[in-house]
Structure 1
Amino acid sequence: MKNSIKIILLFLLATIVSCSKKGEKSLSYNNGEMTILTDESFKSVTEALAEGYMISYPESKIKVVTKKEDLGFLDLLNNKVKIAVMSKDLSPEEKKAYEKQVDLKFIPAKFAADAVVFVVPKNSEKTSITMEEIVQGMQSEEKNFIFDGANSSNLNFVAQKLKKLPKDLKYSIIPGSANVIEELNKYPNKIGVVGLNTISRPYDKNAEKLRELIKVLPIVSNGKTYSADFEGMREMKYPFTRVLYFLTNEGNFNIANGFIRYSCTHLGQKIVQKEGLQPYNIYPREVQMR
């Protein structure tokens, strides 16, 4: 009788251990959970890539959270997230802090060319803007340029292009890129400054609605006019073209690096293209048939 009970107990224990092992899954690039921090300006393309990754790897779960670029970088350094989307060029001090705290070499994973664009209401008589107007306007007490917030990627990037610090520029704020566009007609003499990805998704109803409210101003520089289109971004001729890249603190090949690799492959780059942005890693190829 005692032997029978022992055998039953051993069988039950073996069954429990077997089931628990089947339930356990080691972390890998194709399963697990992750949060990506992105500035609002890049939210659309980041969400599209995350959706594509989760379709390819159904056991992965990715949450996209918007946060101002500078604050997202700090969260990455403090190991609060595994990955962040960036656009600005890090200073030598920021690169040093990254390599020290994350203990990885600074290797940005570039995946798209985006742009900061200057917009006016649809009925505005203004049809273009010069670099001189931008430089002078960002120093004027009239604060005619409206940004989506302090610490935002758009403000950071414009400041870098003008070789200034954000605190040295003069501007107005309406929180949120969509709000800048929707409320711009209340300020007919002002110019909105938003990320192209806010309005670039061709078939998205929200993006389409925003596009109907504004017109994007080409930039005139040294007598030439440049637009934030595929050609302008691909050849980096549009003065406010910026390259989007991922930074991670993951030292092994789990979900963060898996997502980065996916975003930079042909499939991920096609998603970038469908977002209305310029893919960083694929270019049109001409094939001659004989």
Structure 2
Amino acid sequence: MKIRNISIAALAGIIALSGCGGDPANKLDTPTSGNINISVDESFQPIIESEISTFEGIYKYADIEAAYKSEGQVIKDLLNDSTKIAILSRELTPEEKAVFDKQNRIPRVTKIAIDAVALITNKENKDTLLTMDELRKIFNGEVKSWKELDEDSNLGDITIVFDNNNSSTARYVRDSLITGNNLPANTFASNSHKALVDYVEENKNALGVIGVNWVSDFDDSTAVGFLKRIKVLGISEEAAPVTTESFYQPYQAYIAQQAYPLRRFLYIISTEGRAGLGTGFASYVASDKGQRLILKSGLVPATMPVRVISLGN
């Protein structure tokens, strides 16, 4: 089945015609009014909460209820039609597309941002720079202690921690760094992003894997609070870097320039049969206003807004 991308121009026209809401008495399901439940990969809770809040502020008859879940649960919700809107860090697999084909449902995919996976360590860990080769060895179980990476380290065995066993970050590591292998025995899962940061803060040997959106928005109190408690590692794609300038942290500019290697995309997948509220929300997030919120959050917009600066004489 061929996935058809949402036509942003067409949806913008629908929103324009719909005005700023529907009939307050009926709360009709239109691109700017009604009620809808959506399932969202919990890695992106900060930015999606911001997008929903702003959208509902503009369209007062729109009510979007977001459930933040592991990637596996979000996919399950989409496949069993528990939700018609899902926000994920990957597109559908051929097997998943086949399920929609049998159900005569057409998933429409909108890419809304370029995201990244961040690696975090305890404040007392002096080893803040890793190469991609070292990362692969850690996640393959070939390197098991910090001392193997730095003989001067006073730390012990590495403990790898994800937010959830079924999370998108765990799936990303399996797909991108250890293709065909299982995660090593020193891998554990916490119950939430807060629990993940708590664990890394309290354990010197921890290596946490977290969606960058949780540590990228310097205007968000949660992100700022997290950054005060942990370190974010710099990563190099060079096998034997000769300078620290070869290492990049997951800052917005480095993600946009493709200098930071652990990048991924963010998508809205819609199975609405008509142009309802979910379609309108997807259109808004992909529009200039929605993309500027993504820019502000520290992620990279899929469609980069242009900022015009007036130069004085």
With the length of structure 1 as denominator, give the TM-score of the two structures.
0.85
The verdict on how the C-alpha distance between 1:287 and 1:212 changes in structure 2, with shifts beyond 3 A counting, is closer
Percent identity for Structure 1 against Structure 2: 28
State the alpha-carbon separation in 2 of the partners of residues 164 and 101 from structure 1: 31
- Alignment pair present for 1:75 and 2:77: yes
User: Contact 2:140/2:183 (CA < 8 Å) preserved in 1?
Assistant: yes
Equivalent position of 1:58 in the other structure? 60
State the alpha-carbon separation in 2 of the partners of residues 180 and 26 from structure 1: 41
- Alignment pair present for 1:168 and 2:182: yes
- Alignment pair present for 1:272 and 2:294: yes
The verdict on how the C-alpha distance between 1:214 and 1:249 changes in structure 2, with shifts beyond 3 A counting, is same
Equivalent position of 2:268 in the other structure? 246
User: Contact 1:269/1:281 (CA < 8 Å) preserved in 2?
Assistant: yes
State the alpha-carbon separation in 2 of the partners of residues 58 and 249 from structure 1: 24
Single out whichever of 227-236 and 208-217 deviates more from structure 2: 227-236
Equivalent position of 1:101 in the other structure? 103
Q: How many residues of Structure 1 are paired with residues of Structure 2 in the alignment?
A: 268
Equivalent position of 1:13 in the other structure? none
User: Contact 2:121/2:200 (CA < 8 Å) preserved in 1?
Assistant: yes
- Per the TM alignment, residue 99 of structure 1 is displaced from its structure 2 partner at its CA by 3.8
Instruction: Provide the aligned C-alpha RMSD in A.
Output: 2.3
State the alpha-carbon separation in 1 of the partners of residues 310 and 62 from structure 2: 41
State the alpha-carbon separation in 1 of the partners of residues 280 and 204 from structure 2: 46
Deviations 1:167-210 (CA, angstroms, capped at 9, x unpaired)? 71122212211211122133212211101111222222222111
- Alignment pair present for 1:232 and 2:254: yes
User: Contact 2:112/2:302 (CA < 8 Å) preserved in 1?
Assistant: yes
State the alpha-carbon separation in 2 of the partners of residues 234 and 245 from structure 1: 17
State the alpha-carbon separation in 2 of the partners of residues 25 and 185 from structure 1: 46
- Per the TM alignment, residue 107 of structure 1 is displaced from its structure 2 partner at its CA by 3.9
The verdict on how the C-alpha distance between 1:48 and 1:161 changes in structure 2, with shifts beyond 3 A counting, is same
Out of 215, 219, 226, the residue aligned to residue 203 of structure 1 is 219
Equivalent position of 1:126 in the other structure? 127
Out of 41, 44, 52, the residue aligned to residue 42 of structure 1 is 44
Bigger proportion of residues as helix: 1
Q: Which has the larger radius of gyration?
A: 1
Out of 173, 176, 196, the residue aligned to residue 158 of structure 1 is 173
With the length of structure 2 as denominator, give the TM-score of the two structures.
0.79
State the alpha-carbon separation in 1 of the partners of residues 255 and 263 from structure 2: 6
The SS at the match of 2:140 is coil
State the alpha-carbon separation in 2 of the partners of residues 35 and 272 from structure 1: 21
State the alpha-carbon separation in 2 of the partners of residues 254 and 265 from structure 1: 17
Out of 154, 160, 185, the residue aligned to residue 145 of structure 1 is 160
Deviant stretches of 4+, over 6 Å? 286-290
- Per the TM alignment, residue 25 of structure 1 is displaced from its structure 2 partner at its CA by 4.9
State the alpha-carbon separation in 1 of the partners of residues 235 and 264 from structure 2: 15
For 2:125, give the aligned amino acid. Answer: S
The verdict on how the C-alpha distance between 1:262 and 1:135 changes in structure 2, with shifts beyond 3 A counting, is same
The verdict on how the C-alpha distance between 1:22 and 1:39 changes in structure 2, with shifts beyond 3 A counting, is closer
- Per the TM alignment, residue 32 of structure 1 is displaced from its structure 2 partner at its CA by 0.6
State the alpha-carbon separation in 1 of the partners of residues 45 and 275 from structure 2: 24
State the alpha-carbon separation in 1 of the partners of residues 190 and 27 from structure 2: 46
- Structure 1: unaligned runs, 5 residues or longer: 1-20
For 2:88, give the aligned amino acid. Answer: M
The SS at the match of 2:260 is coil
